[in-house]
Structure 1
Amino acid sequence: MRQRLLFLSVFLFSFIMSLAWFVYIQPFFRVSQLNLRTVVAGVQTGLNQNVRQWNGRVNFLILGTDDIEGRNGSGILTDTMIVLSLNVHTGKGVLIPVPRDLWLADEKTKINAMYYYGKTTNPAHPEQRSAEAVSVVLGVPIQYTVVTQLQTISEVIDALGGVDIHVQKTFTDAIFPREGVDVTKEKDPNVLYETVTFTEGDHRMLGKEALQYMRSRHSTDLEEGTDDARSRRQEQVMYAVIGAVKREVQHKNALALGKLFAIYEKNFSQELPLPDLVALAKTMKTNLVHIELKQHTIMPLLVHPAVAKYKQWVYEPIDPTWQKIHKDVSLALFGTIAE
């Protein structure tokens, strides 16, 4: 009888593991095209290392660059700059967007140019220049900086099956740059540009449409045809992507997660190594699946000086020492002002 029970137990365990392989593990590895041995090695390393943190938080800087901006020969700037500060003990995170037009008096340029200058001073890691600048502005250290082109965001969105976006107001952009056009040779406006329209309401956007929504900047609408509106839409899509990733993790969608892991391996594994992710997951445990995110803005602590001051449209801090922003961010992260 005992042998029979033992046999049944082994059989059930084998059946469950086989089912898990075919339902979750096998689709994940098939789609992600990862080497099992490499993944196991990364996991083992991560389990034996401590997470990089600061006062119980891990701060990620997400930099979004747009290659369409540099196609006329100008330098690549960071269109989107968002800090995700994650409490490793509670799973609660704070998203803090940094305006791309924020003026850095010491550098005599806008903060979105720091990545471009970093390519000159530190070609191997230009993102460090951006991270240093953001750290000065917010008063927090950056543990990881992730750089992504907006085209990669489009691939992520498609892997997730789309993101849910609420368009606040209908607008049309009649001179949206058409992809795949050689601007050094083509001069016909009908070839260079296309018309895109977004209607008010809730939409499930796939990658191409979300990318157009993020990039549009020439609407005749006075509100939507500005760089500020464009930055707001980019932040909106980034928040939606983070929410969609969280959704797929909770649903244990092996196919979607496999596609995401393949994108991660191709684009982000150098900046955010697998062992570091494992160390973070080990520290957070079940909180990793139940992450709660809230948004925080530093905009009330910024002002628009007259254009004549810097010969361009910028933001600058009310307090040039950044201390008011440091205190504001500290309250948002810890509920108190750090000494």
Structure 2
Amino acid sequence: MNPTDYSNTLFWQRIKRWLLRHIWFTRVVIILSFLAVLTVLISLFSKPVSSLLQKILYGPKVVTTFFTDPLYTLPSYQNHTNILILGKGNASHEAADLTDTIIFLSLDLVNNEVLMLSIPRDIWITSLAAKINTAYYYGEQKEKGGGFPLVEDAVYEIVGQPIHYVAMVDFDGFVKLIDLLGGVDVTVDQSFTDEFYPIPGKEDDECNGDPEFRCRYEVLHFEKGLQHMDGQTALKFSRSRHAEGDEGTDFARSARQQKVLKAIKEKLSSSQVYLNPSKLLELKKLASQYITFNKDISEKIYAGLAGFGYNFWRSGKEITTITLDTGDDDNPGFLVNPPVEKYDQWVLEPSAGTWDEFQAYLRQKMK
């Protein structure tokens, strides 16, 4: 060993002995070095990490809504938040501004329960001197934005409950929502055929002189049993009203609409959707494009609604549905079909003469 190598070896041996004698100092140096490296890494990656977390937690504010109590964030009456859902077509649909779908939803904020009532579109509203499905149209004709208040007043006549929010859903958005969810599974109670389902945009087609104007319609057929439906199929299933027999009634159509809404609820409640940030962002974007509310919805309200939805999903409860129809011989309904001569058109009105009896029944169901 040459003198230089011997000197270097001796130097490092002295350093090693010194470090061993001062082991506490060695540990402090190691820890400080680790913290210095960690600080550099954080400074380099903090912006991408922050951006990632923001995307994960936004949708809207998925994680924070799990800890939001809807009872203290949502407007309510007797611990219920009532939402009216209206469905109408766009300009390409027949009678675009008539509300083809009218659904009253009541959220029980204490018991995490949901009650759903489909309101037949042919109900006669005395204050309007018209059917309820025309309320939005007449309100908008009177003044822009006047449709929502008029519908609220008309529905209040029937249910006797305040409406906290009204949501107008465009049928195109309905189709895209279901497609975004990958379709829905719906049980068809009985097979039916509708030979007169209107084709959008064909309302004025002369059909080359065909006196029956068959080119304006398409033939729909649904088989009994569980069916997987995409958006267009689910829309047609929900709107069909010209089938023969019971399925051609407005009551059957209302029942089918409730089935589809329940199927959508099942998809929205699945972990593949609820815990998927990118899917939630897509849903929020879709909602902003195709759903119009009667008032601005703040992030706090969105959080409250999402929190209620999460609690309802976690409870495993089902949506309670209420039927508003003419009933049958064994179970008389709350509605009656008066002679056409009374209003010069086919309508429905309360069988008791007023809505008091039905409102008492609804209040009992909401307890």
Please give the range of the TM-score, normalised by the shorter of the 2 chains. Answer: 0.7 to 0.9
CA distance in 1 between counterparts of 2:196 and 2:87 reads: 22
Residues 280 and 233 from structure 1, CA distance in 2 versus in 1: closer, same or farther, beyond 3 angstroms?
Answer: closer
SS in 2 for 1:223: helix
Contact 2:88 2:168 in 1 (8 A): yes
* Residue 218 (structure 1) aligns with: 242
CA distance in 2 between counterparts of 1:311 and 1:287 reads: 48
Tell me the amino acid that sits aligned with residue 79 of structure 1: D
Residues 100 and 249 from structure 1, CA distance in 2 versus in 1: closer, same or farther, beyond 3 angstroms?
Answer: farther
Q: Determine which structure has greater relative contact order: mean sequence separation of CA pairs < 8 Å that are 6+ residues apart, divided by chain length.
A: 1
SS in 2 for 1:290: helix
Residues 233 and 67 from structure 1, CA distance in 2 versus in 1: closer, same or farther, beyond 3 angstroms?
Answer: farther
Deviations 1:247-301 (A, max 9, x none): 357751334322211111223365451422224456x596254363211223322
Identity %: 28
Q: Which of 337, 344, 361 is residue 304 of structure 1 equivalent to? A: 337
Deviations 1:9-30 (A, max 9, x none): x99xx99xx99986x964897x
* Residue 270 (structure 2) aligns with: 247
Contact 2:274 2:280 in 1 (8 A): no
Contact 2:120 2:250 in 1 (8 A): no
* Residue 232 (structure 1) aligns with: 255
Correspondence 1:108-257 to 2 at 5 A: 108-179=129-200, 181-184=201-204, 187-188=207-208, 189=213, 191-219=215-243, 221-248=244-271, 251-257=274-280
Q: Which of 352, 359, 366 is residue 319 of structure 1 equivalent to? A: 352
Structure (1 or 2) with the larger CA radius of gyration: 2
Tell me the amino acid that sits aligned with residue 221 of structure 2: T
CA distance in 1 between counterparts of 2:85 and 2:263 reads: 14
CA distance in 1 between counterparts of 2:127 and 2:197 reads: 35
Tell me the amino acid that sits aligned with residue 210 of structure 1: A
State the shift of 1:126 in Å: 1.0
Asked whether 1:82 is paired with 2:115, we answer no
> Given the two structures, how large is their TM-score scaled by the length of structure 1?
0.77
Contact 1:28 1:257 in 2 (8 A): no
CA RMSD of aligned residues (A): 3.7
Residues 146 and 20 from structure 1, CA distance in 2 versus in 1: closer, same or farther, beyond 3 angstroms?
Answer: same
> Given the two structures, how large is their TM-score scaled by the length of structure 2?
0.72
Residues 104 and 290 from structure 1, CA distance in 2 versus in 1: closer, same or farther, beyond 3 angstroms?
Answer: same
Deviations 1:57-88 (A, max 9, x none): 110000111347954xx562111111111022
State the shift of 1:310 in Å: 2.0
Contact 1:88 1:280 in 2 (8 A): no
How many corresponding residue pairs?
Answer: 310
Listed as ranges, the gaps of 5+ residues in structure 2 are: 1-26, 326-332
CA distance in 1 between counterparts of 2:292 and 2:245 reads: 41
SS in 1 for 2:288: helix
